[in-house]
Amino acid sequence: MATRITPRGQLTVPKQIRDTLRLESGDAVEFAINATGEVVLRKRTSGTTAAGSCEQLVHPPADAQMQRRAAELLALLRGLD
């Protein structure tokens, strides 16, 4: 499943993912980066903190590293046509 990021930084979560996570309009979601550098998306529940409770998640990398990874992700997504 591929999606594109708009110029405003928005993206559409594919229907299959929305259905699996039981996401509805107005729900809050969290993005995190796990120990292998993959992005994790999960539905935010009222008891979930911003840092999350998943043990495999690590603290976000420094700003420069995060921006570099974001740029790499954008380049990969733009290449998927």
Read off the pLDDT of residues 53-62 as tens digits, 9 standing for 90 and up.
444 445 555 5
Judge if pTM exceeds 0.85. no
Confidence class for position 52, pLDDT limits 50, 70, 90: very low
Mean pLDDT of 19-41: 89
d(CA 72, CA 77): 9
Residue ranges per domain, the chain? 15-79
Q: How far apart are the first and last CA of the chain?
A: 11
Q: Which two tokens stand for residue 42?
A: 């999960």
Residue with the larger pLDDT of the pair 60 and 10:
10
